[in-house]
Amino acid sequence: MNVSVALMLELGAILAVLSLLGALARRFALSPIPLYLLAGLALGEGGIAPVPAAGPFVETGAGIGVVLLLLVLGLEFTVPEFAVSLRRHLPSAVVDLVLNATPGAVAGWLLGLDASGILALAGVTYISSSGIIARLLGDLRRLGNRETPAVLSVLVLEDFAMAGFLPLLSVVAAGGTWRQALLGVLLALGAVLAAFSVSYWWGHRLGRALLHLRPDPEQLLLRVLGVTLVVAALAEAVHVSAAVGAFLVGLSLTGEAADRARQVLSPLRDLFAAVFFLAIGLAISPRALLPVLPAALLLAVVTALTKVVTGWYAARREGAGPRGRLRAGTALIARGEFSIVMIGLVGVRQDRLGALVAAYVLLLAVAGPVITRFAGARPVPRAAAGHQGGTPAAAGPG
Amino acid sequence: MDVNEVLLPGVGMRYEFANREGDRMCVVARRTGDFELMVYEGADPDEARVVFRLTGEEADTLAEILGAPRIAERFADLTKEVPGLSAGQVEVRAAGPFAGRPLGETRARTRTGASIVAVVRGEEVIPSPGPAELLQAGDVLVVIGTRDGISAVEQIIQG
């Protein structure tokens, strides 16, 4: 076997740098996603250190990264949580969709993007990062707060909306007619319903099949990953997008099978998701970033405000007071992995869109957690005013 | 006692309750197996203050500490279903003959017909202790048997 020295060296260096950046981000309780994007930008064409040998691996790894991101998202999902969220927060979900997708769509239209670009941008501004926010709420010690179930419910409903939105996007991006798009959406909704029924009626059997003969972690990893990649490939073949296929696999697993699968898959997901963010950064030329910065900034400000309104509304339905509502609203500002998945689907070939979204996510993935940390935090007693942030402990490691 | 359960989608469950003094508190059980214990200052559940966080293992330990005194009570409940059978607790005293000796040496069951089903040692509970288990001063033995059997065990252990 031929070992490519250049590939190993470049890949090793990349991963080492990513690990340093990730550690740095965690140090300040921020999401590492923006730093991974920046690293990609720095390494890309016209960047400071091109990595030609690692290119093909990063490209392949990025595809697997999207599949793993959505598979684990599907594994997180349980039907009871969805049902409870829907019952309590359907109006919040509608407010969320209308208020936050509209600015993206309008911006796409103003920028003269095509239909897939407009749709993608609507999705980008709509979807908060459940990964960043769930972690943030834990780090800021807000899991006991009254507004927290509202925030989490909105996130769950967004994730569910993704299942309908992604196939629509991938059909439109493939240049299909509206008829094909409609068909694609119906197909996807059918598939989601099927996955739910499977999970509801036969979830335990599916789980038993997966856990047959008490697999060790290695066995389990191979089984889940194998099945998922096959389903993802089939979904891609019928133009439903591999990501949606993976999401469906995740949805149909529940209980112990889902718990164990999540355990073995999470590290792998983290690795390939990092590669995915890197790949998006790589595909965007840094020179394209500067011209779109004003637009990204404006869009970020507008959609940060619309998310605050969304969170305010949702938290009010839970009976939270004004500070709780502000906390909920600001918590929802962070955009991250799934906004990036959107442009990954449309293809970063639309360089302007790619650059715009990258800049947008860079801004909000950093600003969101910082804003919510200070907005609506517990009033600091005079004596402890030297401590910044809400509880003094919030500054400690998470 | 009323425990209010709140689902935290994607994160876990939150259990809220108030004690007799009116302190309102909650426990967040995360999917990861970790726990957070919080109190609400005043009656307002808008903001909780985290008192401490526990790993699954630490939570088990805490549950054992809180639950230990109740073990004998629980056995008592159990024995209500069998007429003539009761449960009792016998403390191993430093001055007694068996502190530092293995449980088997007491020959408690052979001599009294009552069984020692658990040893409560501080925060730790040793269920179904074997004859080689070394008794320590301060251990509380959970004994199941007839009333006479239990008092006989008490006489043996405390000398």
For the segment B27-72, what is each residue's pLDDT rounded down to a tens digit? Answer: 999 988 899 999 998 777 888 889 999 998 898 888 877 876 666 6
Minimum-distance CB partner of A391 among B7, B36, B49: B49
Measured N-to-C along each axis, helices A79-110 and A286-317 cross at an angle, to the nearest 10 degrees, of 130
The dihedral through the CA atoms of A391, A392, A397, B5 has a sign that is negative
Which position has the higher pLDDT, A394 or A141?
Answer: A141
Q: Report the chain B residue with the minimal C-alpha distance to residue A131.
A: B10
Q: What is the pLDDT of residue A218?
A: 86
Q: What is the pLDDT of residue A391?
A: 43
Asked if pLDDT for residue B6 goes beyond 50, the answer is yes
Range B61-98 burial, b when 16+ CB lie within 10 A, else e: eeeeeeebeebbeebbeebeeeeebbbbbbebeeebeb
Give the rounded percent of residues in chain A with a pLDDT score beyond 90. Answer: 31
CB–CB contact B28 A82 (8 Å): no
Across A186-195, A299-308, A343-352, least confident range: A343-352
Q: Report the chain B residue with the minimal C-alpha distance to residue A143.
A: B28
Which position has the higher pLDDT, A208 or A227?
Answer: A227
pLDDT tens digits for range B63-100: 877 876 666 666 667 667 777 788 888 888 888 888 88
Write the CB contacts of A297 (distance below 8 Å, at least 6 apart in sequence): A359, A363
Half-sphere exposure for A308 (CA within 13 Å, toward CB): 18
CB–CB contact A143 B49 (8 Å): no
CB–CB contact A146 B45 (8 Å): yes
Confidence of residue A176 (pLDDT cuts 50, 70, 90): low
Counting one residue from A and one from B, how many pairs have CB atoms under 8 Å apart? Answer: 76
CB A376, CB A394: distance < 8 Å: no
Q: What is the pLDDT of residue A384?
A: 47
Q: What DSSP letter does each residue of A201-227 carry, written as one string?
A: HHHHHHHHHHTTT---HHHHHHHHHHH
Confidence of residue A382 (pLDDT cuts 50, 70, 90): low
Q: Report the chain B residue with the minimal C-alpha distance to residue A153.
A: B9
Q: What is the pLDDT of residue A392?
A: 41
Selection from A1-10, A194-203, A306-315, B67-76 with the highest mean pLDDT: A306-315
Give me the numbers of helices (H) and strands (E) for chain A, helices first please. 15, 0
Mean pLDDT, chain A, integer: 84
Q: What is the pLDDT of residue A333?
A: 95
Distance from CA of A81 to the nearest CA of B (A): 5
Residue from A81, A87, A90, A141 whose CB has the most chain B CBs within 10 Å, to mutate: A141
Which position has the higher pLDDT, A192 or A313?
Answer: A313
Write the CB contacts of A149 (distance below 8 Å, at least 6 apart in sequence): A88, A318, B6, B7, B8, B9, B14
CB–CB contact A391 B50 (8 Å): yes
Strands (E), chain A: none
Give contacts of A82 with chain B, Cβ < 8 Å. 9
CB–CB contact B44 A155 (8 Å): no
Residues of B with CB under 8 A from a CB of A: 6-11, 14, 26, 28, 30-31, 36, 38, 40, 44-50
Asked if pLDDT for residue A155 goes beyond 60, the answer is yes
CB–CB contact A147 B40 (8 Å): no
Asked if pLDDT for residue A107 goes beyond 70, the answer is yes
Which position has the higher pLDDT, A66 or A180?
Answer: A66
CB–CB contact B7 A321 (8 Å): no
Q: Report the chain B residue with the minimal C-alpha distance to residue A256.
A: B31
Write the CB contacts of A233 (distance below 8 Å, at least 6 apart in sequence): A242, A245
Asked if pLDDT for residue A99 goes beyond 90, the answer is yes
CB A248, CB A195: distance < 8 Å: yes
pLDDT tens digits for range A237-292: 877 778 888 988 888 887 778 888 888 998 999 999 999 999 888 888 888 888 99
Asked if pLDDT for residue A397 goes beyond 60, the answer is no
Asked if pLDDT for residue A19 goes beyond 60, the answer is yes
CB–CB contact B11 A152 (8 Å): yes
Is the model's pTM score more than 0.90? no
Confidence of residue A49 (pLDDT cuts 50, 70, 90): low
**What number is the average pLDDT over the span A194-202?**
77
**What number is the average pLDDT over the span A18-29?**
86
CB–CB contact B45 A155 (8 Å): no
The hierarchical CATH code for the domain A7-376 is: 1.20.1530.20
CB A318, CB A149: distance < 8 Å: yes
Burial class from Cβ neighbours inside 10 Å (0-12, 13-18, 19+) for residue A102 reads middle
Give contacts of B31 with chain A, Cβ < 8 Å. 259
Asked if pLDDT for residue A204 goes beyond 80, the answer is no
Confidence of residue A30 (pLDDT cuts 50, 70, 90): confident
Task: Quote ipTM for the complex.
Answer: 0.77
Q: What is the pLDDT of residue B14?
A: 92
**What number is the average pLDDT over the span A333-347?**
87
Asked if pLDDT for residue A381 goes beyond 60, the answer is no
Mean pLDDT, chain B, integer: 85
**What number is the average pLDDT over the span A54-67?**
87
